[in-house]
Chain A
Amino acid sequence: MKELDPWVFLAVLQEMLGPLLWGLLALAGLAAIGFLAVLVRDRGRLRARRLVWAEAAGLLGGIAAVLLTHAVTDSGFADIGGPIDWVVLAAIFLAGGFGTTIAAYAVFGLTGRNDRRHRIAGA
């Protein structure tokens, strides 16, 4: 109500996760750094084949995010009640999908998996 304060947001997340919050943030940070490192190493170019595989992993990540939300809240698709529910569901899917895509691209890039010569201009 009235205002959303980032400090309150942080306090709530801390209560929800305890020390795990910092582990998760570190993981997210590592994924982002790994992605940027791979991008810099490849001179700012996204490798098409690697990206496609990362997006495939992202798709699974998005689906997993939605299913996990349902699992922890004892709810399911049948409980969708209004437009905002679809928006939130899509946001959860996109957040899970985007995060997994970035992380997968970094991991594939650093481990050399799915590398071919196909490239697309980017970044």
Chain B
Amino acid sequence: MSLRRPVSPDGSAAAFLDRRRLLRAALAAGTVAAAGGAPSRSRAAAVRTRARIVIAGAGAAGLATAARLAARLDGAEITLLDRRREHLYQPGLTLVAAGLKPPGYVLGETAAFVPRGVRWIEERVAEFDPVARRVVTDAGRSLPYDHLVVATGLQLDYAAIAGMDTARIGRDGLGSVYAGPEEAAATWRALSAFADRGGTALFGRPSTEMKCAGAPLKHTFITDDILRRRGNRGRAELIYNAHSGALFGVPIVSERVRMLFEERGVRVNYRHELEAIDLGRRIATFRTPSGPVEIGYDFITVVPPMRAPEAVRNSPLPWQDGPLAADGWVEADRATLRHPRFPEVFAVGDVAGVPKGKTAASVKWQVPVAVDHLVADIAGTRSEAAYNGYTSCPLITRIGRAMLVEFDYHDNLVPSFPGVVAPLEELWITWVMKAIALKPTYLAMLRGRA
């Protein structure tokens, strides 16, 4: 028996139900609400200091860092810099684009999460000057610092795809989950229209580092599921265009996804990266080893290349060489998140130039490590905290099931519940976690409580 209740494309009917749904969920599934685990709260006595700490960016990483620093320091001058007032719960965008949640589900207010004692300036960092130890905002304000945490997030580079226009998401079969909550809802409208008609659907990812590398895979699985529910799977061809020779960065997960795609009849093109799109004629052009390849489509979800924000790229902070240099990711020790050339600088979240994971789960495990080292610097002690690259992805394989994929820098699977929640098994419990427990855990993380 199923009681699925997808919301209407505009989601309005579901918005006011959200709290009631959560209430019911807790009544019915309280035992799983905190699944996923979390580190202990810091109970150490606060360190007295007058240090000036600047946190560039008030997204997930910036807010979580501010919360933890505020709890562990007494008297520090902590400044958060971010112009955006809206906070986005980005892991929820996939659910919005699946028609299961309204756009409001992912929206919050930054102000609600700024900890007491932390000054939030609604300006963006326009210039990083780590040599002089100061940042300059887009309003021209110069802020000197003793310690800097770079948590700016990243930039979606839609302009790198010739012909792409985010204003047309939702029309002419164009979808893109990442662009924002309204765009995710518009993507659902385009997907829903496609699921009624059938045709060819294209999915894929860029060759740059990207946030939540599982998202394009999830979206492919969800599209397959919705087509089946509407009885139109036989009228549709789904093609996933992988940028490399694999479907996921972790080989064992890649192989599992390959098996599932084969089972679901999803065709895969390897070494295909979207370079141009003709929105009017519905033709996508892919960069391949043998030259450009054009594929017509009825529905496409575009995942743009992702890079560090311009202010970061134009500063001395990025890697100077190696695979993470081209897109300007901030150079950071992979275990401590500390900048090797500017030791008073840390990088956390999407902008951090570490090899794995640009996800909320990465943030959850990076922030306590960076904060511990920063506080140790102030206290004149030494921290042994180390980040092992842990990240996780509830990889949705259909509405109602997901695989809990957790891994580290070395592509090892690091399951939270070994022997209980199998990492490569499609499970209902994993879906339930994603549906009701992930957002509260995320919000608790922003407050430094998880």
Contact = CB atoms under 8 A, between A and B. Distances in A.
A11 B25 contact: no
A80 interface: yes
B25 A8 contact: no
Given A12-B33, A12-B440, A72-B28, A17 B22 contact: yes
B449 A7 contact: yes
Contacts of A5: 38-41
Interface string A62-105: 00111111111111111111101100110110011000000000
B40 A1 contact: no
The prevalent SS among residues of B at the interface is mixed
B431 A73 contact: yes
B440 A79 contact: no
Interface stretch (B205-213, B232-240, B417-425): B417-425
A69 B21 CA distance: 9
A16 interface: yes
Contacts of B390: 1
A69 B31 CA distance: 12
Given A66-B28, A75-B2, A8 B429 contact: no
Contacts of B160: none
B143 interface: no
Interface string A22-64: 0010000000000000000000000000000000000000001
B25 A68 contact: yes
B70 interface: no
Most buried by B among A65, A88, A95: A88
A69 B25 contact: yes
Given A73-B432, A79-B428, A84-B427, A1 B414 contact: yes
Contacts of B401: 75, 79, 81
Contact of B425 (A7, A81, A88): A81
A74 B38 CA distance: 26
Given A73-B436, A74-B100, A74-B435, A81 B428 contact: yes
Contacts of A14: 440, 444
Interface string B1-32: 11111100000000000010111111111111
Interface string B392-424: 100000111100001000000010100011100
Contact of B5 (A16, A64, A74, A96): A74
A8 B34 contact: yes
Contacts of B34: 4, 8-9, 12-13
Contacts of A120: none
A72 B436 contact: yes
A11 B27 contact: no
A95 B29 CA distance: 9
B427 A15 contact: no
Contacts of A16: 22, 25-26, 33, 436-437, 439-440
Contacts of B437: 12, 16
B101 to A, nearest CB: 9
A20 interface: yes
B438 to A, nearest CB: 10
Contacts of B36: 1
Nearest to B23: A20
A69 B29 contact: yes
A68 B1 CA distance: 12
A15 B447 CA distance: 10
A65 B36 CA distance: 22
Given A15-B439, A85-B427, 18 more contacts: A1-B36, A2-B37, A4-B38, A7-B41, A8-B39, A11-B450, A12-B450, A16-B33, A70-B2, A71-B5, A71-B24, A72-B21, A72-B436, A73-B432, A74-B5, A76-B3, A76-B4, A95-B30
Closest 8 CB pairs of A and B: A76-B2, A79-B400, A15-B440, A75-B400, A11-B449, A9-B34, A69-B28, A16-B440
Interface of A: 1-5, 7-9, 11-18, 20-21, 24, 64-82, 84-85, 88-89, 91-92, 95-96
15 contacts: A1-B365, A3-B37, A3-B39, A8-B39, A16-B22, A16-B33, A16-B437, A20-B23, A68-B25, A68-B27, A70-B1, A72-B436, A79-B428, A84-B427, A91-B31
